[in-house]
Amino acid sequence: MSETVVTMLTNAFSVLVFPGLLFVMIVGLLLAGIDRKVLARMQKRKGPPVLQPFYDFFKLMGKETIIPDAANRRVFLAAPIIGFVSLVVMVVLIPIGGYTPFGITFNADLIVMLYLLTIPAVALIIGGSSSGSPYAGIGISREMVTMMAYELPLVIVLLTVALKVGGGSFCFSLGEISAWQETNGALITHWELIPAAIAFLFVIPAEVGTQPFDVAEAETEICEGPLVEYTGAPLAMFKLNTAIKMFVMTALFTVLFFGNAVATEYLALNALIVVAISAGITVLSMTLAHAVCARLKIEHLFKFYWTVVTALAAISLVLVWCL
């Protein structure tokens, strides 16, 4: 009896505090703040404080929530929550420094990941289409094209990693992938996987939707696309989702390419290392691209992902297959 109570409590803790809800909220918003601050420094500005995303979040929480007459009320309000829940589920599945909160690793959690990753984007599409604004209509069509563009290289990268770790067959377990790297060294140090890692670095900003790949939310041309009618708390949720996506994607990169190789015995230290690596990858893949590039057009984005990025990922796959 008491055992079940204890497991229930620990499960609740891992969903609500670490590595679930509270942890990702704080780390996600922190990463977004670091991104904005470093971007400002790259442009020789002083920039907003690192805590700026927290201020934005709380401010939006305090604003009035307007639901347009043309909107489908229930879907309009549920969309941001669907995206948020799927992101929290994803974080609980990622073994941060080899720590899996439920003590189990699924055989195919990489595939579950792949499905869960699309849900926030789908939530954005659903929310946008239910708001009944023509700007949102353009935004969601662009969001769909963006999704198609980055999914292909992402799948190939995941296949490459699974093939390398499985050695001849595919290994889709994140737990095993990160454990494998403890004995064989981090995957990033295997030269044939470096193109795949670069491809993944390109997938991150498109998945998160930061400039120059934020065609779906281009605020200067289509008024933030799917978010055009959102105000107050739902908008705060969407902004939070973007911030959490930053952490989820960079943490996924850490697990796939660094794994347990950087893990220590202490859980708190591991979490700190993962957050530090995530911050580094955020700066490398998102801030740098934002600082040097203007926003792409949707057809250029599609072409870029299906040629350059897919080619990088495919090179790795072929190399891993042949060697």
SS3 (DSSP) at 99: strand
Alpha helices in 173-266 (DSSP H): 174-184, 194-208, 219-222, 232-257
Residue in the structure block whose two tokens are 């779906």: 216
Residue range at the interface with other proteins (CB under 8 A); choices 116-124, 157-165, 230-238, 302-310:
230-238
Q: What is the DSSP string of 74-87?
A: HHHHHHHHHHHHHH
- How many other β-carbons are positioned within 10 Å of the β-carbon of residue 168? 7
Q: Does 47 bind other proteins (CB under 8 A)?
A: yes
CA gap 175, 104 in Å, rounded? 9
Q: Does 55 bind other proteins (CB under 8 A)?
A: yes
Give the residue, chosen from 81, 111, 223, 291, that forms a contact with other proteins under the rule CB under 8 A. Answer: 223
SS3 (DSSP) at 96: strand
Structure token pair of residue 291: 């600082």
Q: Does 40 bind other proteins (CB under 8 A)?
A: yes
Q: Does 61 bind other proteins (CB under 8 A)?
A: yes
Give the residue with the Cβ less far from other proteins, 56 or 109: 56
Q: Does 294 bind other proteins (CB under 8 A)?
A: no
Give the residue, chosen from 65, 72, 105, 118, that forms a contact with other proteins under the rule CB under 8 A. Answer: 65
Write phi, then psi, for 99 (nearest 5 degrees).
-95, 115
CA distances (Å), 302 to each of 108, 225, 308, in order? 29, 18, 10
Site mask for other proteins (CB under 8 A), range 237-256, x = bound: --------------------
Give the residue with the Cβ less far from other proteins, 176 or 214: 214
Q: Does 63 bind other proteins (CB under 8 A)?
A: yes
Residue 28 CB, shortest distance to other proteins, in Å, is 17
Give the residue with the Cβ less far from other proteins, 273 or 296: 296
Q: Does 35 bind other proteins (CB under 8 A)?
A: no
Residue in the structure block whose two tokens are 């959102």: 230
Residue 60 CB, shortest distance to other proteins, in Å, is 8
Q: How far, in whole angstroms, is CA 315 from its chain's centroid?
A: 24
Q: Are 178 and 255 in contact (CB under 8 A)?
A: yes
Residue range at the interface with other proteins (CB under 8 A); choices 120-128, 200-208, 222-230, 304-312:
222-230
Q: How far, in whole angstroms, is CA 66 from its chain's centroid?
A: 28
Of 242, 228, 279, 237, whose CA–CA distance to 57 is shortest? 237
Q: Does 220 bind other proteins (CB under 8 A)?
A: yes
Give the residue, chosen from 235, 243, 263, 286, that forms a contact with other proteins under the rule CB under 8 A. Answer: 235
Give the residue, chosen from 8, 9, 66, 268, that forms a contact with other proteins under the rule CB under 8 A. Answer: 66
Give the residue, chosen from 23, 29, 31, 56, that forms a contact with other proteins under the rule CB under 8 A. Answer: 56
List interacting residues with other proteins (CB under 8 A).
Answer: 36, 40, 43-49, 52, 54-59, 61-66, 135, 219-220, 222-224, 227-232, 235
